[in-house]
Chain A
Amino acid sequence: MLLNNLFDDPARADRLISIAQSSFLPLVKGALTYTLSLTLISFFFGLILAILIALARISRVQPLDWIARLYVSVIRGTPLLVQLFVIFYGLPSIGVTIDPFPSAVIGFSLNVGGYASEIVRAAILSIPKGQWEAASSIGMSYRQALQRIILPQAARVSIPPLSNSFISLIKDTSLAAAILVSEMFRKAQEIAAATYEPLLVYIEAALIYWVICLVLSFIQDRLESRLDRYVAK
């Protein structure tokens, strides 16, 4: 359709090119200011939460394990969009009103925390018991063993699945459009509405998401080979 129109109507082709050009900067700006910052901040807090939940899951203190299981179950068992709506549209009715951006950060962090905790837990459990024992045998406390011996090794194991979560998160941030965060997808919706060229604008947005994810995959490869330096090839 688009192509046919272009050949039939040079004026429309010019118009499309000019819309593509004029929308590019606002979209990239939306990506840089909101999409990326939302992703980075949420992933940072989400990861801290994930480590805490993973530790609770492997803890010998039973109630901690139960609470962590319940949390993971709720996060995984409910749609992210619903979680965001509860925080942004729901909480004000009990007097808790949070701005769009912080609402989104809270929602995404809680979500990442739930999913990534299983990755972190599996990674910690994949480290041989002998590593814990060796750490204890030179006098380390649980915390020292975790920080110095176990987590650094678990980090290597969890890079590929965590990168997956990270890339999913970038794309999931488009859901923040629904709670009024002016990230890239919301910008795209606004431009599409104003120009009546949704196909063009949404494809443009899709391409920008894709490029961001390509760059991140590249960084993941670099990180993996760096962390693999101590593993026999």
Chain B
Amino acid sequence: MITINDLHKSFNQLHVLKGISLTVEKGKVVVIIGPSGSGKTTLLRCLNVLETPNQGKIQIGNVVLDFSQNPAKADIARLRRQTGMVFQNYNLFPHMTALENVMEGPITVKKMDKAAARDKAVHLLTKVGLADKINEYPFQLSGGQQQRVGIARALAMDPQVMLFDEPTSALDPEWVGEVLKVMKQVAQEGMTMVIVTHEMAFAREVADKVIFMDQGVILEQGKPEELFTHPREERTRQFLKLLR
């Protein structure tokens, strides 16, 4: 589903991604872990071109972008249509209700008719457990509820891949569980997911593959039980020890 080939990204002098290659098969859940500054968020943001890589290739579904030439805007748009993104700070549209947030993409981008978009949005908000909050504005919702609207908003575009950028890091501990539960449910329905998170218990339970990034490279990857129980690299061991 996703193939990344020798991806590089620099911010001015700072070389953040130093040749990342990675494949994610359809329906699999990949969790990226690593210390801050390791490039994990940048990698995720490159996947829907919120950051433009300097070099390398990204393929998602049947769209291939080669960043050694400047990819066309239309191709970037096609790639984005394959991905849904969930942000650390939710980034809901504050001037729209939960329902309108979820309907916005289908109506404006997919030109779906309003009634159908509404049905779909109600269905998705029900699925994330917010059937009774559809007419609330974001400021009226808790962090956990806002993040669940964020997930519903991304799902409304029927993405092939869901990207999660530290989706629970900004949440009070009491709301983390409900968001992880929804993510688990999405995973069980067969969605391909790439998740940057610090929730190791969640990674262990849900991930098919865990990737440890450090200083702009993938240092180690494997099944969660392998990587968490028998990390091969010293840096991985140190990192995991810090989390305990």
Residues of A within 8 A of B (CB): 128, 130-131, 133-134, 136-141, 144, 148-149, 152-153, 156, 229-232
Q: Which residues of B contact A130 (CB under 8 A)?
A: 87, 89, 91
Tell me if B95 and A138 are in contact (CB < 8 A). Answer: no
Docked complex Cα distance between A149 and B95 (Å): 8
B109 located at the interface, meaning its Cβ lies under 8 Å from any Cβ of chain A in the complex: yes
Tell me if A133 and B87 are in contact (CB < 8 A). Answer: yes
Tell me if B108 and A144 are in contact (CB < 8 A). Answer: yes
Docked complex Cα distance between A229 and B138 (Å): 11
Tell me if B77 and A141 are in contact (CB < 8 A). Answer: yes
A231-B94 contact given A137-B50, A137-B80, A140-B108, CB 8 Å threshold: yes
Chain A contact residues: over half helix, strand or loop, or mixed? helix
Residues of B within 8 A of A (CB): 48, 50, 77, 80-81, 83-85, 87, 89, 91-96, 104-105, 108-110, 137-140, 153-154, 156-157
Please give the distance in Å from A24's CB to the nearest CB on chain B: 44
Tell me if A139 and B139 are in contact (CB < 8 A). Answer: no
Tell me if B77 and A133 are in contact (CB < 8 A). Answer: no
Instruction: For B94, give its contact among A133, A138, A144, A230 (CB under 8 Å).
Output: A230
Please give the distance in Å from B77's CB to the nearest CB on chain A: 6
Q: Which residues of A contact B84 (CB under 8 A)?
A: 137-138
Q: Which residues of B contact A230 (CB under 8 A)?
A: 94-96, 137-139
Tell me if B91 and A138 are in contact (CB < 8 A). Answer: no
Q: Which residues of A contact B85 (CB under 8 A)?
A: 133-134, 137
Q: Which residues of A contact B154 (CB under 8 A)?
A: 137-138
Residue of A nearest to B81 (CB): A139
Docked complex Cα distance between A231 and B50 (Å): 27
Q: Which residues of A contact B104 (CB under 8 A)?
A: 138, 148
Instruction: For B80, give its contact among A131, A139, A148, A153 (CB under 8 Å).
Output: A139
Instruction: For A156, give its contact among B83, B95, B140, B153 (CB under 8 Å).
Output: B95
Docked complex Cα distance between A140 and B95 (Å): 17
A-B contact pairs, 9 of them (CB 8 A): A128-B91, A131-B93, A134-B91, A136-B80, A138-B109, A141-B77, A229-B137, A230-B94, A230-B138
